[in-house]
Amino acid sequence: MTYAFIVISGLRADHHLDSHQIGFVIFTWLVLPFGMPVLSGLRAAMIAARDKRERSLEGEMSPRELVLQYARFESRTRYRNRTDIGLLLVAAAALAGLQLRFAMPFGAFASGIEIVYLVAAAYLLLHGGVQKLSPDADFVSLRNIYRQELACQHQLRSFILWLWPAPVLFAFYASAPGAGTVSSMPMVYATIAAVFLCFLVASANRERNGHVRELTGLLCRMRERRTL
């Protein structure tokens, strides 16, 4: 990194690079190569977090134990919903404030993102919770409800996760000049950022999908523990 900074500074001092070219060189030579270890670290962190969750699921459980485990899953889901609702509302308010303060291009696109965020927050508030368990449900019914809700929450979280890169990509494209040859450089940044963010979201969803498949498979094989 020190060598790259020295080379870039020398080229800049000799006027071999303008401001847009030096930005592209820094992004290409520094951000992308050193971004791969960051992605690897994030993936390792997701795997470690996945291994720590749902450790109390076993091959055999009594109905009461399964109900308690489902209650913890319901509590985590409720917390995630509240967090996502707050973040979606903050993101929509931030976009609206930027539109009121600055005359930004792609105004209709930003308004569409705000509407999608508000609709997603409303859906989480009204239908984002998990199904309540019946007090007289048998073990097989409890197990099937748990499996269904795990799959539903996975689909919902995957959709919400795909919403977060939208404002970042909008900011990249909105910052591009309206005319001139230099407008191609910010568009290159936006394209690379789109690939980077989409790869990150797809990796996170793939890790979550593997975790959900493990849990559903364990629930399929789970047997009721007979208590004396």
| Spatial contact of 133 and 142, defined as CB atoms under 8 Å apart | yes
The whole-number pLDDT of residue 41 equals: 75
Give the pLDDT confidence of 175-191 residue by residue, as tens digits. Answer: 555 444 444 555 666 66
CB atoms near residue 91 (< 10 Å): 19
pLDDT at 179: 40
Ramachandran category for residue 60: left, alpha or beta (phi over 0 → left; psi -120 to 50 → alpha): beta
Residues 180, 6: Cα–Cα separation, whole Å: 30
Write down the pTM of the prediction: 0.71
In the structure encoding, which two tokens stand for residue 96, read together? 């609206």
pLDDT along the chain (228 residues), means of 10: 59 57 58 66 70 64 86 91 94 84 67 88 92 84 91 92 79 54 56 75 84 85 75
From the list 173, 154, 156, 166, the residue with the least C-alpha distance to 197 is 166
Provide the pLDDT for residue 25. 59
**What is the pLDDT at residue 121?**
94
Could you give the C-alpha distances from 5 to 21, 22, 25, 153, 188, in angstroms and in order?
A: 14, 11, 10, 45, 21
How high is the pLDDT of residue 12?
Answer: 57
What confidence score (pLDDT) does residue 84 get?
A: 94
What pLDDT, on a 0 to 100 scale, did the predictor assign at position 82? Answer: 94
Q: In angstroms, rounded to a whole number, what is the distance separating the alpha carbons of residues 49 and 26?
A: 33
Residues in the chain: 228
